[in-house]
Structure 1
Amino acid sequence: MALAAFSRLPVTVNLPLLLQALAGVEEDRWKGHFNTAYYSGDWSGVALISAADALTELSPGRGRPLPRAPWLEDERWRQALRDWPLDIVSARLLRLGPGGRIHEHRDYDLGGPDADLRLHVPLLSPPDVDFWLDGQIIPMKAGECWFLDLARPHRVANRSDRVRVHLVLDCRPGPWLERQIADGLISTPIAGVEQNDLACFQRRVEADPHLARALQSLQDLDAFIESALALGAEQGFHFTREELCAAMRTGRRQWSDQWKT
């Protein structure tokens, strides 16, 4: 499935329960992140679920997902996520302290066609934390759930005097999760981009392989335009032939190149 760089999922986060569970985590549970060259300051984590063969509880692995002590000992983590039908292979808390920085890098293990999908659920999220992904600041707030394609370049700077804590979930791809990501693209705020119906439909096509294939199969330009208008209307997006042609002429979102080649 081809996915956009990020999406705010239209799901309800039980933030009060998650914050209660977070408050129950003892300080000695927090361990420094294993990628020591990637950051400065305090970047630490608590493993909730991780691979049985991982070198450390925070490290990646290929073994079966193994619930760790905080997950087993506090049922509030499971309760908070019980309404999300996810196949979770890794769950951890990641904390970035005041003044901490995560240097630009890529998580290449998330870049394959069958790679896990990473979700970030901000629990403590001061406004002066900049999370850059592929050149765009992602405006994540506490109580939201975001898909992030972290195989792309990303970095973080905590410019505040408070800690930032995210619940990070690595999940196997599945129909429910992929639909939430696709639906979230429509409402995800992007600074400086007008969210008209055409822009929203373009982003839906980016996330939905069935729509993309339907357009890619059309070699005739008029047929392509008529199909895009019809498919857009079916999805609830209404734009004119003139708007579509103008977008194609200016190359916005690379319509003709991306979906007709």
Structure 2
Amino acid sequence: MLSVSWPVPVISFARISCPVSLPALQEDLHRLLQETWVDHVNRRDYQGGWDVLPLRCERQHQDAHPILQGYAIQEGEDWINLPALNQSPAMLQCVQFLQCPVKAVRLMRLKAGSHIKPHRDHQLSLEHGEARLHLPIFTGEHIRFRVNGQTVPMSAGELWYINADQEHEVHNIGEQDRINLVIDCGANTWLKNCAGAMS
């Protein structure tokens, strides 16, 4: 974990301003739907279908099975873009926009009718020097994303910081899959200011 030297306000979520072309992101995604997605490994944490396509992983796992690429994401310091990200210009632009250390990047798909149960990802928050960002590419009013008892009003094409150290859950009560671009970062002054300014 990175150490931070400022008093970080504990916020549950915040929108971060980011130049995004949603049609371009969706075009990238359509090309990636035929890639090898893997079921989320924490099966006790969800009901239904929840799978992942890794886009950036630890360098030591770049030729490994997608499960390692997608889930060995805790303590690595040497990260590398996978071909799927390098061949997706709109997604790559979003990642390159971030002026903070970028760690794991992956697409996460919550299938129609599925539920991510309430859980915490311990110490994955700004005040612990870490951050998880979500950018919905396909979503809608049928998604209920709650953090610390509050509904996150995220729409497609918006970048959001989520305090994953707090209890959170997601319901997909619709008939379409929800797909988010999920980016794990090291928290620095730039990211903290972005989140604080938009909270």
Q: What band does the TM-score fall into relative to the shorter chain?
A: 0.7 to 0.9
26-35 vs 36-45, which moves further: 26-35
Matched, 1:24 2:37: no
Q: Which residue of 1 aligns with 2:91?
A: 77
Q: How far apart in 1 are the matches of 2:33 and 2:110?
A: 16
Q: How far apart in 1 are the matches of 2:101 and 2:69?
A: 19
Residue from 6, 9, 29 that aligns with 2:13: 6
What TM-score comes out, normalization by structure 1 length?
0.66
Q: CA deviation at 1:113?
A: 4.3
Q: Which residue of 1 aligns with 2:180?
A: 166
Q: Which residue of 2 aligns with 1:61?
A: 74
Aligned residues with identical type, % of pairs: 26
Larger proportion of helix:
1
Are the equivalent residues in 2 in contact too, given 1:126–1:163 (CA < 8 A)? Answer: no
What TM-score comes out, normalization by structure 2 length?
0.84
Residue from 150, 153, 161 that aligns with 2:164: 150
For structure 1, the residue ranges without an aligned partner over 5 or more in a row are 186-261
Q: How many residues align?
A: 185
Greater RCO, 1 or 2 (C-alpha within 8 Å, sep 6+): 2
Q: Within 5 Å, which residues of 2 pair with 1:179-258? A: 179-185=193-199
Matched, 1:129 2:136: no
Larger proportion of strand:
2
Are the equivalent residues in 1 in contact too, given 2:18–2:97 (CA < 8 A)? Answer: no
Q: What secondary structure, in the 3-state scheme, does the structure 1 residue paired with 2:11 have?
A: coil
Change (3 A) 1:111 1:36: same
Q: What secondary structure, in the 3-state scheme, does the structure 2 residue paired with 1:56 have?
A: helix
Q: CA deviation at 1:128?
A: 1.0
Q: How far apart in 1 are the matches of 2:139 and 2:126?
A: 29
Are the equivalent residues in 1 in contact too, given 2:19–2:94 (CA < 8 A)? Answer: no
72-81 vs 60-69, which moves further: 72-81
Change (3 A) 1:117 1:24: same
Are the equivalent residues in 2 in contact too, given 1:34–1:58 (CA < 8 A)? Answer: no
Cα deviation code 1:136-156 (max 9, x no counterpart): 111111011111101000111
Which consecutive aligned stretches of 4+ in structure 1 deviate over 6 angstroms post-superposition? none
Cα deviation code 1:113-148 (max 9, x no counterpart): 443211111111121111111111111110111111
Larger Rg, first or second structure (1 or 2) = 1
Q: CA deviation at 1:24?
A: 0.8
Q: How far apart in 2 are the matches of 1:115 and 1:53?
A: 23
Q: How far apart in 2 are the matches of 1:155 and 1:35?
A: 14
Q: What's the C-alpha RMSD, in Å, of the aligned pairs?
A: 1.9
